[in-house]
């Protein structure tokens, strides 16, 4: 990940209070309409759709086969002085003898220099929280997953693993995050990690053992524990091939639980994410059933059902070391040959969540169920949908250091024009305020509806329109966009790359953002787009349906332009409706821009819903 984004997190810019001036009334009226309609939309149930596509997070590179080692049992590993995060504040957990950890939130804000002495003191001792501290029972939660911003990110999962624990830590929760210690984690974080201990852990069905090291980093009220083992985590990429990833994530899931036992940190809830951590509930209810950890409840969140961790039964049986009885058709077995790690996790966890209400409904249908629809229907009693949010510390057009010009809702109209000009200049496009600029920021895979885009691009391109693409992925799509760049030079720019800073500038400089996904569990780009006053054009599926209220051509309320069936003609129609609205009714378009910026897409609501689920799961604990 580029350093620019890291800088945005580790050195947050000063955050002034949101200003609202002359435009406030105009923005408020439509907002009321929008919110009441949004409320009614949440009641709508899901689907009608289709599916299919290629894996995202696995690249064809074989992981090194782990070497055999001498065996010692993890449970008997020498114990370091034990600390429970329930008892000790997070800061205490960072061992005193180690280098001082950098805690950006506690550094004096720039404004402190300009305020009188007493206020300066207050600013130091009470960093402004996201949300007021809430009363109610305290709960300890551990997040277990394979990626987390800013350490390692390949997609939206990393954003969630970063932002949700941070939000929960401000809602009376003790939060710990357990991650693999990949070699690709930037050195600036590696060098601040503190050694917490090590032990040998038997893993495989023949008793083969592996080293487990625990390295800790405390930041922003959240404790991050990294599972260290160079045999599994030394690749330059968190995901390699499925052949390498199966042993890696069997090891990681078991080591995460063993590390919790080792540290004597017994949480109320273990919250696992995607197939890479899906064996955690299975281990907990089998090999760890007699340990203190077994009192914990488990939640498994599906961020993308397409990726499930499927491989032949003998291999998964060997690497997981799980007892034979879990390889039955109601748990891990998918058919006579294959085992499915996600399926096993869904069976053994106490609660399943996914990242939007609509997607929770969709995945119970054959079209979206990725062969697990019947299994999910069976477990639907414990399935919930909670939409993701975005982190306002990172995604804030008023403080975003990567933008040409910062803006808020009061000055978005002129300043967005400045950002549009700067973007056109940066990308070598014709500089013209009057052009309608459409952005597309996406992995270039067919999940994202790019075959639709390719089919209609020539019909979108006219003298009033520019298109800016940012993404990497399937070679076919990359080449297609390169071809179109050449064909429409000056009006279409294909950035075939991953560039955090450029993404921020496209969100700020474009007029509209295209998200025509075939399926979309939640989607973050449309949320970021709205927060930057960029109108989303989306297909009504998954989280896109739950977060973008369609424009109503009579009342002019809504947040964006939508289409339902997966059809290029309907996408073209939605784009043309947006264009017509932009060119013929700029006053109402501008109102929509302000309404979108005003919409609450933060983690606040969603984190509360997760917290309520934790309380529901642990209601017996008072
Ligand atoms: P997914 O997780 O399916 O890839 P999401 O919409 O949930 O999609 O999250 C995508 C995230 O990755 C967003 O934060 C988006 O800005 C970012 N992103 C995607 N492609 C790029 C890229 N080429 N350069 C920079 N950021 C990107």
Answer yes or no: are the C-beta atoms of 13 and 7 closer than 8 Å: no
Give, for ligand 1, the residue of 441, 448, 530 to mutate: max count of ligand atoms closer than 8 Å to Cβ: 441
Q: Taking the CB of residue 248, how many other CB atoms lie within 10 A of it?
A: 24
Q: Residue 601 has what pLDDT?
A: 96
Pocket of ligand 1 contains residue 387 by CB under 6 Å? no
Q: Residue 134 has what pLDDT?
A: 52
- Say how far residue 324 (Cα) sits from the centre of its chain: 34
Q: What are the structure tokens assigned to 433, written together?
A: 């305020």
CA distances from 166 to 91, 143, 170, 289, 525 (A): 14, 11, 7, 30, 20
Q: What are the structure tokens assigned to 441, written together?
A: 């920021």
Quote the radius of gyration of the chain (alpha carbons, Å). 24
- Alpha-carbon distance 103 to 192, whole Å? 11
Q: Which of 439, 451, 452 is nearest to 477 (CA)?
A: 451
Q: Which of 177, 173, 166, 102 is nearest to 129 (CA)?
A: 166
Q: Residue 132 has what pLDDT?
A: 52
Q: Residue 154 has what pLDDT?
A: 87
Give, for ligand 1, the residue of 442, 449, 515 to mutate: max count of ligand atoms closer than 8 Å to Cβ: 442
Q: Among residues of the chain, what percentage have pLDDT more than 70?
A: 78
Instruction: Please provide residue 252's backbone torsions phi and psi, each rounded to the nearest 5 degrees.
Output: -60, -45
Comparing 105-109, 290-294, 426-430, 497-501, the range with the smallest average pLDDT is 105-109
Answer yes or no: are the C-beta atoms of 388 and 521 closer than 8 Å: no
- Helix or strand run (H / E) with residue 486: helix 475-487
Pocket of ligand 1 contains residue 574 by CB under 6 Å? no
Q: Taking the CB of residue 622, how many other CB atoms lie within 10 A of it?
A: 5
Q: What are the structure tokens assigned to 262, written together?
A: 């080792």
Instruction: Please provide residue 365's backbone torsions phi and psi, each rounded to the nearest 5 degrees.
Output: -110, 155
Q: How close is the Cα of 593 to the center of ligand 1, in Å? A: 22
Q: Are strands 209-219 and 492-495 parallel, antiparallel or unpaired?
A: unpaired
Pocket of ligand 1 contains residue 498 by CB under 6 Å? yes
Max Cα distance, the chain (Å): 74
Query: CB-side exposure of 282: number of CA atoms within 13 Å?
Result: 31
What one-character-per-residue DSSP string does 335-378 give? SSSEEEHHHHHHHH-SEEEES-HHHHHHTTSTTTSTT-HHHHHH
Q: Which of 431, 9, 59, 435 is nearest to 222 (CA)?
A: 9
- Tens digits of residue pLDDT in 76-86: 333 333 333 33
Q: 131 pLDDT band (50/70/90 cuts)?
A: low
Pocket of ligand 1 contains residue 55 by CB under 6 Å? no
Residue 40 has pLDDT above 90, yes or no: no
Better pLDDT: 29 or 258: 258
Residue 133 has pLDDT above 90, yes or no: no
Give, for ligand 1, the residue of 53, 145, 148, 155 to mutate: max count of ligand atoms closer than 8 Å to Cβ: 155
Instruction: Please provide residue 477's backbone torsions phi and psi, each rounded to the nearest 5 degrees.
Output: -70, -40
Residue 107 has pLDDT above 50, yes or no: no
Pocket of ligand 1 contains residue 6 by CB under 6 Å? no
Q: Which of 408, 401, 402 is nearest to 17 (CA)?
A: 408
Q: 353 pLDDT band (50/70/90 cuts)?
A: very high
Answer yes or no: are the C-beta atoms of 162 and 149 closer than 8 Å: yes
Residue 115 has pLDDT above 50, yes or no: no
Pocket of ligand 1 contains residue 355 by CB under 6 Å? no
Q: Residue 70 has what pLDDT?
A: 37
Q: Where would I find the H helices in 548-619?
A: 568-584, 586-598, 604-617
Task: List strand residue ranges (DSSP E) for 472-511, in order.
Answer: 492-495
Mean pLDDT, range 102-112, rounded to an integer: 36
- Say how far residue 10 (Cα) sits from the centre of its chain: 19
Pocket of ligand 1 contains residue 443 by CB under 6 Å? yes
CA distances from 174 to 65, 170, 177, 270, 291 (A): 36, 9, 10, 12, 21
Beta bridge mates, 199: 212
Comparing 52-66, 205-219, 243-257, 338-352, the range with the smallest average pLDDT is 52-66
Q: Residue 99 has what pLDDT?
A: 35
Q: 440 pLDDT band (50/70/90 cuts)?
A: very high
Quick one: which atom of ligand 1 is closest to the CA of 470?
Answer: 23
Q: Residue 136 has what pLDDT?
A: 73
Q: Among residues of the chain, what percentage have pLDDT more than 90?
A: 74
Residue 559 has pLDDT above 80, yes or no: yes
Pocket of ligand 1 contains residue 536 by CB under 6 Å? no
The model's pTM: 0.79
- Tens digits of residue pLDDT in 230-245: 999 998 889 999 999 9
- Alpha-carbon distance 412 to 397, whole Å? 9
Instruction: Please provide residue 468's backbone torsions phi and psi, each rounded to the nearest 5 degrees.
Output: -125, 120
Better pLDDT: 54 or 278: 278
Comparing 19-28, 305-314, 428-437, 575-584, the range with the smallest average pLDDT is 19-28
Mean pLDDT, range 393-403, rounded to an integer: 96
Answer yes or no: are the C-beta atoms of 7 and 532 closer than 8 Å: no
Mean pLDDT of the chain: 84
**Does the CA dihedral 567-573-577-583 come out positive or negative?**
positive
Nearest CA to ligand 1 atom 26: 500
Q: Residue 208 has what pLDDT?
A: 97
Q: How close is the Cα of 493 to the center of ligand 1, in Å? A: 18
Q: Which residues, other chains included, contact 587 with Cβ-Cβ below 8 Å and sequence gap of 6+?
A: none
Q: How close is the Cα of 474 to the center of ligand 1, in Å? A: 15
Q: Residue 135 has what pLDDT?
A: 54
Pocket of ligand 1 contains residue 501 by CB under 6 Å? no
Give yes or no for a cis peptide into 604 (omega within 30° of 0).
Answer: no
Q: Which residues, other chains included, contact 329 with Cβ-Cβ below 8 Å and sequence gap of 6+?
A: none
- Alpha-carbon distance 195 to 97, whole Å? 10
- Tens digits of residue pLDDT in 411-439: 999 999 999 999 999 999 999 999 999 99
What torsion, rounded to 10 degrees, do the Cα atoms 245, 246, 249, 255 define? -130
Residue 125 has pLDDT above 50, yes or no: no
Pocket of ligand 1 contains residue 602 by CB under 6 Å? no
- Alpha-carbon distance 387 to 159, whole Å? 13
- Tens digits of residue pLDDT in 294-319: 999 999 999 999 999 999 999 999 99
Nearest CA to ligand 1 atom 22: 498
**Does the CA dihedral 284-286-289-295 come out positive or negative?**
positive
Residue 387 has pLDDT above 90, yes or no: yes
- Alpha-carbon distance 546 to 154, whole Å? 24
- Tens digits of residue pLDDT in 534-547: 999 999 999 999 99
Q: Are strands 351-354 and 297-302 parallel, antiparallel or unpaired?
A: parallel
Better pLDDT: 516 or 127: 516
Pocket of ligand 1 contains residue 161 by CB under 6 Å? no
Q: Residue 156 has what pLDDT?
A: 84
Helices (runs of H) and strands (runs of E) counted in the chain: 22, 17
Beta bridge mates, 215: 195, 226
Q: 221 pLDDT band (50/70/90 cuts)?
A: confident
Report the alpha-carbon angle 167-169-173, nearest 5.
125
Mean pLDDT, range 496-507, rounded to an integer: 96
CA distances from 435 to 465, 504, 580, 582, 586 (A): 5, 20, 12, 10, 13
Nearest CA to ligand 1 atom 15: 525
Q: How close is the Cα of 245 to the center of ligand 1, in Å? A: 22
Mean pLDDT, range 12-32, rounded to an integer: 38
Q: Residue 617 has what pLDDT?
A: 97
């Amino acid at each position: 990940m580029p350093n620019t984004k890291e800088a945005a997190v580790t050195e947050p810019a000063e955050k002034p209070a949101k200003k609202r001036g002359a435009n406030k009334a105009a923005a408020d009226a439509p907002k009321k309409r929008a919110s009441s309609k949004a409320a009614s939309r949440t009641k709508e149930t899901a689907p009608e759709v289709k599916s299919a596509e290629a894996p995202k997070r696995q690249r064809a590179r074989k992981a090194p086969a782990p070497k055999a080692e001498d065996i010692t049992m993890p449970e008997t590993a020498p114990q370091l002085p034990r600390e429970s995060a329930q008892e000790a504040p997070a800061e205490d957990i960072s061992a005193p003898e180690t280098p001082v950890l950098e805690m950006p939130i506690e550094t004096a804000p720039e404004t402190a220099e300009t305020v009188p002495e007493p206020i300066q003191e207050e600013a130091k001792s009470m960093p402004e929280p996201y949300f007021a501290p809430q009363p109610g029972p305290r709960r300890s939660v551990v997040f277990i997953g394979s990626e987390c911003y800013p350490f390692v990110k390949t997609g939206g999962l990393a954003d969630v693993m970063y932002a949700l624990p941070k939000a929960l830590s401000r809602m009376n929760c003790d939060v710990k995050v357990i991650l693999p210690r990949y070699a690709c984690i930037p050195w600036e974080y590696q060098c601040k990690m503190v050694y917490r201990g090590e032990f040998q852990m038997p893993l495989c069905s023949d008793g083969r053992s592996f080293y487990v090291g625990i390295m800790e980093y405390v930041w922003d009220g959240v404790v991050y524990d990294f599972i260290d083992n160079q045999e599994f985590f030394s690749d330059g990429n968190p995901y390699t091939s499925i052949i390498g990833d199966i042993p890696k994530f069997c090891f990681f899931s078991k080591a995460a639980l063993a590390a919790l036992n080792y540290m004597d940190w017994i949480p109320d809830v273990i919250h696992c994410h995607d197939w890479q951590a899906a064996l955690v509930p299975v281990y907990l209810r089998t090999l760890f059933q007699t340990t203190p950890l077994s009192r914990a409840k488990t939640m498994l969140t599906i961020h993308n059902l397409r990726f499930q961790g499927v491989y032949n039964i003998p291999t998964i049986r060997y690497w997981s070391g799980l007892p034979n009885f879990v390889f039955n058709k109601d748990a891990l077995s998918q058919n006579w040959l294959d085992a499915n790690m996600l399926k096993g996790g869904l069976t053994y966890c106490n609660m399943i969540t996914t990242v939007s209400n609509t997607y929770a409904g969709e995945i119970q249908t054959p079209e979206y169920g990725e062969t697990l629809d019947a299994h999910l229907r069976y477990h639907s009693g414990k399935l919930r949908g909670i939409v993701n949010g975005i982190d306002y510390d990172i995604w804030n057009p008023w403080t975003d250091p990567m933008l040409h010009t910062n803006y808020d809702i009061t000055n978005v109209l002129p300043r967005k024009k400045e950002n549009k000009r700067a973007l056109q200049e940066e990308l070598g496009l014709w500089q013209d305020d009057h052009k309608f600029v459409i952005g597309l920021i996406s992995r270039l895979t067919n999940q994202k509806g790019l075959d639709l885009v390719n089919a209609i691009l020539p019909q979108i391109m006219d003298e009033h329109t520019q298109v800016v693409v940012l993404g990497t992925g399937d070679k076919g799509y990359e080449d297609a966009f390169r071809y179109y760049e050449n064909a429409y030079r000056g009006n279409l720019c294909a950035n075939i790359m991953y560039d955090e800073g450029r993404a921020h500038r496209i969100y700020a400089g474009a007029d509209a953002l295209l998200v025509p996904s075939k399926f979309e569990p939640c989607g973050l780009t449309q949320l970021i787009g709205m927060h930057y006053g960029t109108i989303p054009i989306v297909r009504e599926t998954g989280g896109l349906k739950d977060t973008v209220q369609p424009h109503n051509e009579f009342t002019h309320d809504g947040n964006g332009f939508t289409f339902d069936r997966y059809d290029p003609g309907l996408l073209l129609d939605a784009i043309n409706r947006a264009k017509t609205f932009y060119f013929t009714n700029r006053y109402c378009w501008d109102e929509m821009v302000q309404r979108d910026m005003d919409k609450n897409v933060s983690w606040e609501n969603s984190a509360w819903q997760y917290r309520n689920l934790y309380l529901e799961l642990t209601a017996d604990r008072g």
